[in-house]
Amino acid sequence: MPEYQRLTLPSEAFDGATLKALCESSGELGCDEICSGKCQDCFVQEAFDRLSAYEDSGLSPEEVQGLAKAKTEGRLVVLPCKVGSDVYCIDNHGTKRNPKYEIYEYIIDSFTVGETLSFELFGDGIGDIYDIGKTVFLSREEAKKALEGGGE
């Protein structure tokens, strides 16, 4: 894939992006001919800002098109964390009559796409992606907050 050079850079004259070539050739004054110096309401400025936001993503046009196609086709999955991430699980290691909920730290070993999207924890089985935010958390603080609310 070819390496793309940025076309925009932050403006020194206002809060927004501007075309690199415009700045280099005219010190950002060339825009006045198009939008009368009201850059915040200018359709050209909106295009600069949107192009700048795209460039900030670091993705190539081909990558963006591939992601858009996968999304349209229902193939795009955004994982809540990456393999190797620490997760914090609330689990009952007591009895039904005497529950003892505690927080246990695990590492995500893998994600599996099947009937549901699941994950495997190093040394402790499999969980459903929908457990994240309920009994599995991405930070100890989130798990403590949920546990204080009365684990389920």
The pLDDT value recorded for residue 33 is 55
The pLDDT value recorded for residue 100 is 85
Share of the chain above pLDDT 90, in %: 28
Q: For residue 104, which of 131, 137, 126, 71 has the smallest C-alpha distance?
A: 137
The pLDDT value recorded for residue 18 is 63
Segment 71-76 mean pLDDT: 92
Residue type, 115: E
The pLDDT value recorded for residue 152 is 47
Please say if the pLDDT value at position 56 is more than 80.
yes
The pTM of the full predicted model, rounded to 2 decimals, is 0.61
The pLDDT value recorded for residue 122 is 80
- The answer to whether the beta carbons of residues 82 and 101 sit under 8 Å apart is no
For the chain, the structural domain boundaries read 8-72, 86-148
pLDDT tens figures, 127-152: 888 889 999 999 999 999 998 885 44
Picking from 5-14, 28-37, 55-64, which range would have the lowest pLDDT averaged per residue? 28-37
More confident of the two residues 33 and 95: 95
Q: Using CA atoms, how far apart are residues 150 and 12, in angstroms rounded to an integer?
A: 52
